Amino acid sequence: MLWLYLATQKELFERELKLLHIAPEPGIRARLRRQPNLQYTGAGLDSALADVRLDLCRLPFPTGHFDAVLCNHVLEHVLDDGAALLELHRVLRPGGWACLQSPVNDGLARTVEDPGTYGPREREQAFGQWDHVRQYGRDYPDRIRAAGFRAEAVRLDVQGDEAQAATYGLMSDEVLYIGFRDERTPLGEG
């Protein structure tokens, strides 16, 4: 779903952009690195594909440094997702955007998290996967907004087009969350 969305973003292929890609996926990383207009930075805590090793809660980049950020299926693994979202907002320039995709359980009104859930088996039962530290609920966009972003839920409708759904590995109910840094937000402010 991420690449399908990115393919609709003309600015990714037409103008000079600084792009931060957290926990880079191999296929998307390869495609983006080939784009001559992108200043691509892959980053992560322990990814072999990362150009920069970092803690998402303490990014080593100046405020307003990037035009766009890709953070795909990462925040559900981060103990302090609020601090991580604040940092992602900080390093975006005003007018920048971030793909903040995480699994969301629409059956939950509120995100479920418990720092006392330690073992892999406990986390799988509580959060759906052994290495997740929370299961996001319908309040996920509120969490994005709390970091200063304007949150938008994007649905790429492939209803009735099974070939396209299969090609892109889309689920009919999947939503991509995009956070926008308001043009009017001065640098240094959330």
- The residue ranges of every structural domain in the chain are 2-180
Strands (E) in the chain, as ranges, are: 17-22, 38-44, 52-53, 66-71, 92-99, 112-113, 134-135, 150-154, 176-180
- Name the DSSP letter for residue 83: H
pLDDT at 170: 60
Distance of alpha carbon 114 from alpha carbon 83, whole angstroms: 17
pLDDT at 161: 64
pLDDT tens digit sequence for 93-130:
999 999 999 999 999 999 999 877 778 899 998 898 99
pLDDT at 11: 75
- Name the DSSP letter for residue 92: E
pLDDT tens digit sequence for 6-54:
777 777 778 899 999 999 999 899 999 999 999 999 999 988 889 999 9
pLDDT at 164: 63
Asked whether residue 159 carries a pLDDT value surpassing 80, the answer given is: no
Distance of alpha carbon 50 from alpha carbon 21, whole angstroms: 9
- Of the chain, the percentage scoring pLDDT greater than 90 comes to 63
Query: Which CATH number does the domain 2-180 belong to among 3.40.50.150, 3.40.140.10, 3.40.50.1580, 1.10.620.20?
Result: 3.40.50.150
Distance of alpha carbon 130 from alpha carbon 143, whole angstroms: 22
pLDDT at 155: 79
Residues in contact with 90: Cβ distance below 8 Å, sequence separation at least 6, in sequence order: 59, 63, 64, 190
